[in-house]
Amino acid sequence: MTHPPPSAAGAITDVAGIEVGHFTDTRRPTGCTVVLARQGAVAGVDVRGAAPGTRETDLLAPANTVEQVHAVLLAGGSAFGLDAASGVVRWLEERGIGLQVGPGRIPIVPAAVLFDLYLGDTRIRPDAQAGYAACDAASRQAPAEGSVGAGAGAVVGKVFGADRAMKGGIGTACVEVGGIRLGALVACNAIGDVVDPDSGRLVAGARTLDGRALLDTRRALLRGEPPRRLVAGSNTSIGMIATDAVLTKPQAARLATVAHDGLARSINPAHTQWDGDVLFALGTGASGRTADMMVLATMAAEAVAQAVLRAVRAATSVSAGGLVLPAARDFGA
């Protein structure tokens, strides 16, 4: 089966005011991805996983003071990867971008990380220099997808052990309704399988004992096959949606919540105690128009689900850390 090229379904960079840049460290592999909103964007967040790794998420609560962010960072490296946000802050500060506080400007950069330490030397992880480099690479062009940036070391389908899993990645998509655009960017490192919600077909996930076919984690668990004991937080899908609609902060928070429906449609199981799933929502307001929240919510879930599918379909196989992990393309998915 063939699939459309990454540009066919659009990208989060189709949303005015949004830029994306990757840094990929091929030594392990690992990396980070930054989404820039140089003019600022109203933001919200919803943390659904039970083992998250985050930075600056409390300030996004609707009742709290700060209204806008200037970038969002997604990174591998587990808790170590949060260091990459410091590089993003420095890059923005050097360009005079940030919240005016007294005599200076403070860039507001929330971040979320995923666990990708199964692959190779755990001492190699995104740092401040990596975050800075991702900013240098940022542009309005459609970002690369698959085994790059925050998705470089992503792995999916680990319920029955990492040795029976497959390669994850990062993907993007964009939906347009009535002249309003909403894009998504997701780094998929889920413990569960990835499923095409339109067809119900398995795309990537846990493999059979011989490694030659997809197992179907949902059905395996329901028939009583015991899951492998896992380390909490050793999974996680992280990402964001962005729209050019004018949003209030409470609306951004609500869109971050409903965007998780896209994870639940395309990942099974999702939001487990072993995942740290986090989604941000950004509103650039660049269209100058408001939109019906029911429509935006539907667009958000759709864009996230499509971004997850593209993340694994664009991924490439990897051999690192004693693991040999095929990709969805190797199974014709």
Instruction: Report yes or no on 1 lying in a domain.
Output: no
Distance CA 57, CA 46 (A): 9
Residue 38 within a domain: yes
Question: Has residue 154 been placed in a domain?
Answer: yes
CATH number at residue 173: 3.60.70.12
Counted domains in the chain: 1
Rg of the chain's alpha carbons, rounded to an integer? 18
In a domain, 333, yes or no: no
Give the CA distances from residue 175 to residues 2, 23, 123, 147, 304, in Å, rounded to whole numbers and listed in that order: 21, 26, 39, 23, 10
Query: Which of 153, 146, 165, 86 is CA-nearest to residue 114?
Result: 153
pLDDT truncated to tens, each residue of the chain (333 aa)?
Answer: 344 433 347 999 999 999 999 999 999 999 999 999 999 999 999 999 888 999 999 999 999 989 899 999 999 999 999 999 999 999 999 999 999 888 889 999 999 999 999 898 999 999 999 999 999 999 999 999 999 999 999 999 999 999 999 999 999 999 999 999 999 999 999 999 999 999 999 999 999 999 999 999 999 999 999 998 776 667 899 999 999 999 999 999 999 999 999 999 999 999 988 888 999 999 999 999 999 999 999 999 999 999 999 999 999 999 988 889 999 999 887
Domain membership flag for residue 161: yes
Q: Structure pTM?
A: 0.95
Q: Which residue range is the domain that position 303 belongs to?
A: 6-328
Residue 85 inside a domain? The answer is yes
Secondary structure, 3-state, 238-288: EEEEEECCCCCHHHHHHHHHHHHHHHHHHEECCCCCCCCCEEEEEECCCCC
Query: Does residue 162 sit within a domain?
Result: yes
